Amino acid sequence: MVDKKQSHHIVVIGSINYDILMRQDRFPKVGETVLADDVKMSGGGKGANQAVQAVKMGAQVTMIGAVGEDVFGDILLHELDSYGVDTHLMKRVSGTSSGLGLVNYLPSGQLLSNVYPGANMHLGIEDIDTISSLIRSASMIVLQTEIDLDTLCHAISLAHEYGVPVMYNAAPAKELPPGVLEKVDYLIMNEAEAEFHCRQPFSSVDMAMDGAKKLQKRLRNTIVVTLGPQGALIVSDDTAAHIHPIDVPVVETTGAGDSFVGALAVMMSERVRIIDACNVATCASSLTIQKPGGQIAMPTLQEVMDLYTTVYEKEMQFV
């Protein structure tokens, strides 16, 4: 049982990038130049995005990651500070650029994304050991796969040893050493990542549910598979449910998955029932895709709960 006095303390260990987002009518062919209609520049990276959404949902969040000793690093830390994310333990790395993301997106919301990890890969095992007391005191640890894999696995193992819940967003999908996924309490994946870990393709929601059930039976944790316009699936020891999507206009999908994860982490830290927590997370991502950009588009707790009340017309339940 999470100590209530710590229920708002989430530690996010992950990536932080400087994103350049360009809106255009179509994607270029090889060797072709297409002029963009608009450009936005903002902080990004899965870890930073999830940290910002968690803060906007009312949580106290400490971000652990690495940026370069460059102007991008200065901007990224300033932006996180402006949202209220605690960055005092962020690592500055000399001799390499901060992580960079280049995103091209269409009016339909489709996007192409290229990411240079840069300083993100310089967060090491020794950096995790340095913050072991912070991990021990957290209500939840949130991680993704945009940092060094040895560092990721060490952080998961340390949190598991301390009995701290671990939420792992398996993005991008990568093979982890045997036994690591079993230490994860909440495994969050999109359809492609779930296909990778379930070792089978999904051509329907039913097939995705079947794959998730088989994986959950082996790992014995809670699995959430986000399916974009088809909603999300939840599988745990006592739950198997399909969360239906909310019909909203799509402007741009950058950060939608991170918005879902950040909101879900807060709800699970507050001991909200998993189905209700995923409904809240669906509201958060549904609001995010109605605006361009990642962090700047992410909604506040009030905005999320207003939509939740409108769509679901019921009180959340706690466990």
pLDDT at 203 over 60: yes
Question: Residue 253's pLDDT band (boundaries 50, 70, 90)?
Answer: confident
Question: Residue 109's pLDDT band (boundaries 50, 70, 90)?
Answer: confident
Q: How does 91-101 read in b/e, with b if 16+ C-beta sit within 10 Å?
A: bebeebbbbbb
Segment among 38-47, 118-127, 145-154, 161-170 with least mean pLDDT: 38-47
pLDDT per residue over 208-250, tens digit each?
A: 999 999 999 999 999 999 999 999 999 999 999 999 999 999 8
Among candidate residues 19, 86, 127, 258, the one labeled active-site is 258
- Cross-strand pairs, 259: none
Comparison of pLDDT for 113 and 150, the residue scoring more:
150
Q: How does 19-57 read in b/e, with b if 16+ C-beta sit within 10 Å?
A: bbbbbbeeeeeeeeeeeeeeebebbbbbbbbbbbbbbbb
- Note the Cα 277 to chain centre separation in Å: 15
The pLDDT assigned to 2 comes to 37
Percent of the chain with pLDDT over 70: 98
- Phi and psi at residue 174, to the nearest 5°: -140, 150
Sign of CA dihedral 229, 176, 163, 142: negative
Average pLDDT over residues 1-15: 69
Quick count: other Cβ atoms within 10 Å of Cβ 219?
Answer: 16
Q: Would you say domain 4-29+37-312 falls under CATH 3.30.70.20?
A: no
Q: Which of 218, 210, 160, 208 is nearest to 185 (CA)?
A: 160
CA distance 204 to 201: 9
- The helix/strand/coil state of 214 is helix
Domain definitions of the chain by residue range: 4-29+37-312
Question: Residue 95's pLDDT band (boundaries 50, 70, 90)?
Answer: very high
CA distance 153 to 160: 11
Residue 258 annotated as catalytic: yes
AA letter at 241: A
**For residues 142 and 63, is the Cβ–Cβ distance under 8 A?**
no
Q: Which of 147, 98, 101, 102 is nearest to 125 (CA)?
A: 147
The pLDDT assigned to 264 comes to 98
Average pLDDT over residues 137-165: 98
Question: Residue 8's pLDDT band (boundaries 50, 70, 90)?
Answer: confident
The pLDDT assigned to 251 comes to 86
